[in-house]
Every structure is written in C-alpha cells, then in structure tokens.
Chain A
C-alpha cells in the first residue's frame, strides 16, 4: 500500500501571510501529484496539479515537487480567511487509483 502523509494541523496563519503545506509520499514511481481543497461539508475540489520537478505557480498558489526527496508542497501567498479549509495531497498509484493523504486543516485568522 503506497502512502501519502500530511500533518493534520491545524496550521494557523494570520491574514496576508504565506501558508506552507507539506506532503510526503512513498511511491518512487509516482508521476502526477494533486492538491485538493475541501471546505467543511463539501466535496474536494482540485486547486493545483504538478508533474515535473520544480515549482508551478497559479495565482496565489505555488506547488513545489521534489521527486528525489519524495515531497510535494503547496504555498498560499497572501492568505485569506476564505482559504481556511482542509487541503488534501494525492498521487496516482499505478493506473488505477489516486491515493490521498488525510489532509491538513488550514486556519487563516483576520
């Protein structure tokens, strides 16, 4: 069973700060990585995906992938209270299923 690990949090940051969320994975063969955001009572929604080593930026979000160290991170710049949610990291195990971490709860205080 391949694993994806995240710190459950909560991670608390003040409004306007950078939130840094981290994830490690065990499957060295993983090629694709995803960050989902889940608000309480709602289903997860994709915010970022990354396939290559390095950084990928999309608005206030930056995903970072380091395959040698087997970690992927998500940076949220200028954090807003509306960013308060649980963030799930995931990667594909083979061709058949996505493996999710348990999620990190982020709290952004005004």
Chain B
C-alpha cells in the first residue's frame, strides 16, 4: 500500500519558534511537494522538489524553506513561525504526469 506520511497530525508552536515538518514517501517518487490549505483559498504550493537536493519555489515561498537530502524525505522549515502561518500543511509525492499522493496533513497552530 503506497504511503506518504507526515511527522505530526497536530502541532502547536509559539511565535518565533523554528518549526520542522517532515514528510516521507515510500514510492520512490522523483517529485515531492509542500502545500498549505486555508478556507476559501484552495491548495497553495509552497515549495516543490523534482530530485534530491533540488528545490523550486512555488506560489507562496516567503517565510518557508525546504530540505531534500534523501529521495524519500522532504522537510518544510518555518524559520521563525508567525501567526499567519497557522494552517493545514499537506505534503505530496508523484512521478511526473501521474497521480499525486497526499499525506494526511499537519494542522499547525502558531500562538
């Protein structure tokens, strides 16, 4: 059974903290993605990676960074969390032109 896992389902952090969201896929996919989803705004792409150590900015990269040291793992980093980063964060992986698989999501609250 193919799987994308995320390190936490729920996370509460304080303003200014450094936050790490981890994502692991077991499908040997080249492409991995980080989205945030807010009511009424749909899925918004933060960063994506098409190969190990490669990363590309998505539509809303400000305030975020990523790391992909191994093919199966893609990390999203909030260097200094702010309240406007409270959101649902979704990780996904895919082979090009094929189905994208999503993880269960991490609901992050920044106080």
Taking Cβ atoms with an 8 Å cutoff, the residues of A that contact B are 1, 8, 31-32, 34, 42-46, 49, 88, 90, 92, 95-98, 100-103
Contact = CB atoms under 8 A, between A and B. Distances in A.
B97 A97 contact: no
B99 A103 contact: no
Contact of B97 (A32, A43, A44): A32
A93 B50 CA distance: 13
B43 A97 contact: no
A47 B47 CA distance: 25
Contact of A32 (B58, B98, B104, B105): B98
A13 to B, nearest CB: 22
A88 B50 CA distance: 23
Interface of B: 31, 33, 40-43, 45, 48, 50, 56, 58-59, 90, 94, 96-105
Contacts of A90: 100
A88 B96 contact: no
Given A102-B41, A102-B42, A95 B50 contact: yes
Contact of B42 (A42, A45, A49, A103): A103
Contact of A96 (B59, B96, B101, B104): B96
A8 B41 CA distance: 10
A68 B56 CA distance: 31
A100 B102 contact: no
Contact of A92 (B90, B97, B103, B104): B97
Contacts of B33: 97-98
A49 B101 CA distance: 13
Given A32-B98, A95-B96, A97-B31, A43 B48 contact: no
By CB atoms of chain A within 10 A, which of B41, B45, B100, B103 has the most? B100
